[in-house]
Chain A
Amino acid sequence: MLTALYVMLGLALLLGLVLGYSALKFKVEGDPLIARIDAILPQTQCGQCGYPGCKPYATAIAKGEADINQCPPGGDAGVHALADLLGVEYKPLNAEHGLPKPKSVAVIDENVCIGCTLCIQACPVDAILGAAKHMHTVIASECTGCELCVAPCPVDCITMEPIAESPANWKWRYPVFEIKPESAVMRKTVS
């Protein structure tokens, strides 16, 4: 009776030590869930979700403080991806946080810019180049289209311009077949 108890006690101690050691040895830095949620988010850093960036929003989702449908730039596809990852039900985007817009870049009207650097301080990805009392300009390839620079501009010289379609970024369309009314087809073949 007592032997069995000692054996169990010994086992418990041994396993506890192993577990405690591996918990220290194989400790995972940071929360992998946050990183996985963050990977789905579009990294616009726009703050439309109500958090100061994508990472804070990802942290809030991981903690269960925020809903998955607060990211308009991620769109419906983003909500679906988050729902799949977290194993929760899909929800349509919450209109309170804004609606998805076509991807845009900020453009500074360089004739109007007074060089106040307010937009540079607002840009979350350092995509605006300039110095005090010198003209600023947007590095278009780095701009995420977050619109955070628009509001601080005291002379309203920043506009958001949707990215135009060009042969370089053009996409093949989903095949759709025009159904022509029969009379039109007939007329065409007759003529």
Chain B
Amino acid sequence: MNAIVNLSALIRRKLGKGGLSSFNGGVHPPQHKLESTSAPIRQVPPPARLVLPLRQHVGNVSKLQVAIGDHVLKGQLLSSADGQVSAAVHAPTSGTIAAINNQLIPHPSGLPDISITLEADGCDEWIARQPLDYKAISKQELLDRLREAGVVGLGGATFPSHIKLREDARHPVRTLIINGAECEPYISCDDMLMRERAAEIVRGIEIMRHLLDAGRCVIGIEDNKPQAVAAMRAAAADSEVAIDVVEVPTIYPGGGAKQLIKVITGLEVPSGRLPSEIGVQCFNVATAYSVNRLVHHGEPVISRIVTVTGHAGRAGNYEVPLGMSIRELVEFAGGHAGEELIMGGPMMGFNLPSADVPVVKATNCIIVPDSAMFPAPAPALPCIRCTRCADACPANLQPQELYWFSKSQNLEKAREYEIFDCIECGCCSYVCPSNIPLVQYYRFAKSEIIAQDRAKEAADIARERNEFRLKRIEREKQERAQKHAQKAAGAKTEAAPADEAKKAAIAAAIERAKAQKAEVTPKNTEAVSPGVAAEIAEIETRRAEVLAATATDVRAEEKQSTEEAK
């Protein structure tokens, strides 16, 4: 056993410098970082009009907290997090809510989504800001504040940070990795942030370390950013906690979370698992910076550093209020916002549907291309099965197999070959001698599989609800039948005594009436003269005769009528 451990340590030492490991594959595209690193970060004044989509993060759409016409201050909450996997949105400047409607967002679909339009009043007036003493409050309270402040991963994935910063008893985080690798060409926003605001990033890292109680803390920076490394080393030396700054070899996609974890710790994140399950958590430097802004300055996430590069007059990094139109930003940077703009890098970015979309939390870079920079791709040729893509794949997949399965829409097979481990880095397409846009096929297959899974889930719920309904109807039917049966049985058994009681009551009433009649004797015939008495007696006998006569008549008539009826 010891021999194996020694051997693995030896191999690890042999593989990379300074005890670093390495991952398979990767490519070395031209870097183009110098274009945007010559000038310091420039502030962009808030524009007159800002558009803030409610969905700027992974998870649930945030819940609206303002109405049209409301006046809001800079940093005021516009929409709050809805559920756990969600993040809030805040006003990047003071002004009035002009509209809440569907607007075009920076998304590859080119579809509009619900957004808030804010007309700036030009005062840029802050709401009351309260720095937090993070050691004095509970961790849960601090996480709630992060959720309310809209802190999300600013490396591009925009996953709500408060979830990743939650302590998990089952998987304690041993290593906290801060990702400053920034491997993708053209992008330099993290580089410039580290060069200029290293101390603030370190303050943020201290808070993250406090939350996760991580034993080790490492900042990984690619060795093509010596100034950033020097600045971070100097800032880390001043910190109260031990923070290692590690230079990692420059290779694309060395800044991918799983790849950076492999390089720094030598651990591989298993397929379909999260880094936290192997005791590692990874955050972008800009995320650490926004944690610091919240805790030490009381500021929510309302701006971010964006690299504007390519065919722009003043290419560089800009601190941009969220919601600013990308057209305005590009023009501010001396570029012309033509038909095609790329958000993100050349490897993983996408063409914006229009220049009139806002800067969101995921906007790390805008490339203004010209035809010389990115010539139209050559037509795709058939796959020649050279497997260069397999050599380049940093996720240890078989891209050529995935391509065939995706192309033939054999989705089950694609899933079997772990298409969901693909990070869409584009290395395979980059090296493909046949110019096949492989990643486009994988994206297609992935979204088809996700849609199928959702439909399956919905079908399962529908089946359950239908079965429940049928059961309920059956149960109600039985209950009704039981009730009817009970009623019928009850009527029979209770009928006899009820009738007798009734009869008895009627008989009693008749008796009472008879007794009453007997009691009542005419009282006005007692004190009369003999003459009158004789007259009364005569009348009485006549009446009796008449009564007897009519009675016999009636009886005779009745007899007659019954006989007739017979």
Write the residues of chain A forming the contact surface with B, with a CB cutoff of 8 angstroms: 38, 41-45, 53-55, 124-127, 142, 144, 165-175, 177
Chain A interface helix/strand/loop/mixed: loop
B462 at the interface (CB under 8 A from A): yes
Assuming the A-B contacts A38-B463, A142-B461, are A126 and B444 also in contact, with contact meaning beta carbons closer than 8 angstroms in the complex?
Answer: no
9-residue interface stretch from B9-17, B65-73, B107-115, B249-257: B107-115
16 of the cross-chain contacts (CB-CB < 8 Å) are: A43-B463, A43-B466, A44-B462, A124-B466, A126-B469, A142-B462, A144-B458, A166-B113, A167-B111, A170-B109, A171-B448, A171-B451, A172-B440, A173-B444, A175-B440, A175-B441
* A126-B113 contact given A42-B455, A42-B459, A171-B448, CB 8 Å threshold: no
B63 within 8 A of A: no
Pairwise interchain contact B447-A171, C-beta atoms closer than 8 A = yes
Given A165-B111, A167-B107, answer yes or no on A125-B444 (Cβ-Cβ < 8 Å). Answer: no
Residues of B within 8 Å of A173, CB to CB, are 444
Instruction: Chain B residues near A166: list those with CB within 8 A.
Output: 111, 113
Q: Mark B103-121, 1 if CB is under 8 A from A, else 0.
A: 0010111010100000000
Residue pair B447, A167 in contact (C-beta under 8 Å): no
Most buried by B among A42, A53, A142, A175: A175
Q: Chain A contacts of B455 at CB under 8 A?
A: 42
Q: Does B443 contact A (CB under 8 A)?
A: yes
Given A45-B466, A125-B466, verify A172-B459 contact (CB < 8 Å).
no
> A-contacting residues of B (Cβ < 8 Å)?
55, 61, 105, 107-109, 111, 113, 379-380, 409, 437, 440-441, 443-444, 446-448, 450-451, 454-455, 458-463, 465-469
5 additional A-B pairs beyond A43-B466, A170-B111, A171-B444, beta carbons within 8 Å, are: A42-B455, A169-B451, A170-B447, A175-B440, A175-B444
Q: Check if A165 sits within 8 Å of B469, measured CB to CB.
A: no
Residue of A whose beta carbon sits closest to that of B472? A126
A137 to chain B: closest CB distance in Å? Answer: 17
Could you tell me if A172 and B108 are in contact, using CB atoms closer than 8 angstroms? Answer: yes
Among B108, B437, B465, chain A packs the most CB atoms within 10 A around the CB of B465
List, in ascending order, chain B residues with CB within 8 A of A177's CB.
Answer: 379-380
Q: B464: shortest Cβ distance to chain A, in Å? A: 9
The distance in angstroms between the C-alpha atoms of A126 and B409, with both chains bound, is 35
Complexed CA–CA distance, A55 and B443 (Å): 34
A124 contacts across to B, CB distance below 8 A: 466, 469
Do A172 and B447 touch across chains, with their CB atoms under 8 A apart?
Answer: yes
Contact A174 B444, CB 8 Å, known A42-B455, A166-B113: yes
B109 / chain A contacts, CB cutoff of 8 Å: 165, 167, 170
A-B pairs under 8 A by CB, number: 72
List, in ascending order, chain B residues with CB within 8 A of A172's CB. 108, 440, 443-444, 446-447
Closest to A179 in B: B379
Give the complex CA separation of A55 and B459 in angstroms: 12
Given A43-B460, A142-B461, A172-B444, the answer on whether A167 and B105 have CB atoms closer than 8 Å is: yes
Q: In the complex, how many angstroms separate the beta carbon of B113 from the nearest chain A beta carbon?
A: 5
**B472, chain A: closest CB distance, angstroms:** 8
B51 to chain A, nearest CB (A): 15
B465 and A142 form a contact (CB under 8 A): yes
Specify which of B107, B460, B463 lies most central, judged by the most chain A CB atoms within 10 Å of its CB. B463
Closest residue of chain B to A123 (Cβ to Cβ) is B469
Nearest opposing residue in chain A for B468, CB measure: A126
Distance between B468 CB and nearest chain A CB, rounded to angstroms: 7
Cβ–Cβ contact B460 & A167, under 8 A: no
- Chain A residues, Cβ within 8 Å of B113: 166-167
A32, chain B: closest CB distance, angstroms: 16
Across the interface, which residues of B come within 8 angstroms of A168, CB to CB? Answer: 55, 61
A174–B2 Cα distance when bound, in Å, is 52
Q: A126-B468, A167-B105, A172-B446 are in contact. Are A43 and B459 (CB under 8 A)?
A: yes
B465 touches A125 (CB 8 A): yes
Residue in contact with A45 in the complex, picked from B111, B458, B462, CB distance below 8 Å: B462
Contacts of B454 in A (CB 8 A): 169
Give complex CA distance A178, B378 in Å: 12
Chain A positions within 8 Å of B463 at CB level: 38, 43, 54-55
A53 lies within 8 A of B451 (CB): no
Residue of B nearest to A41 (CB): B459
Chain B min CB distance to A104 (Å): 13
Q: Are A175 and B437 interface neighbours, CB within 8 A?
A: yes
Which residues of A sit under 8 angstroms from B460, Cβ to Cβ? 43
Q: Which of A53, A167, A174 contacts B55 (CB 8 A)?
A: A167
User: Could you say which residues of chain A place their CB within 8 Å of the CB of B111?
Assistant: 165-167, 170
**Cα A167 to Cα B53 with chains together (Å):** 12
Most buried by B among A41, A53, A165: A53
Q: Is the CB of B462 within 8 A of A43?
A: yes
Report the Cα distance A142→B113, complex, angstroms.
Answer: 23
A106–B354 Cα distance when bound, in Å, is 34
Q: Which residues of A contact B458 (CB under 8 A)?
A: 43, 144
Contact of B469 among A44, A125, A175 (CB under 8 A): A125
* Shortest Cβ distance from B442 into A: residue: A172
Nearest CB of chain A from residue B189's CB, rounded to whole Å = 24
A53:B466 contact, CB within 8 angstroms: yes
Complex CA gap A53/B470 in Å reads 11
Contact of A125 among B61, B105, B441, B462 (CB under 8 A): B462
A169 vs B452: C-alpha distance in the bound complex, in angstroms? 11
Q: Which of A43, A54, A173 has the most CB of B within 10 A?
A: A43
| Cβ contacts under 8 Å, B447 to chain A | 170-172
Q: In the complex, what distance in Å separates the CA atom of A51 from the CA atom of B94?
A: 61
Q: How far is the CA of A165 from the CA of B440 in the complex (A)?
A: 20
Cα distance, A125 to B461, chains bound together (Å)? 9
Provide the bound-state CA to CA distance between A165 and B111, in Å.
Answer: 8
- How far, in whole Å, are A123 and B55 apart by their CA atoms in the complex? 33
Q: How far is the CB of A126 from chain B (nearest CB, A)?
A: 5
- Chain A residue numbers with a CB within 8 Å of B437 are 175
Q: How far is the CA of A170 from the CA of B112 in the complex (A)?
A: 11
Chain B residues whose CB sits within 8 angstroms of the CB of A127 once the complex forms = 465
Please determine whether A126 and B105 come into contact, CB atoms closer than 8 angstroms: no
Chain A hits for B467, CB < 8 A:
55
A174–B446 CA distance with the chains assembled, in angstroms: 11
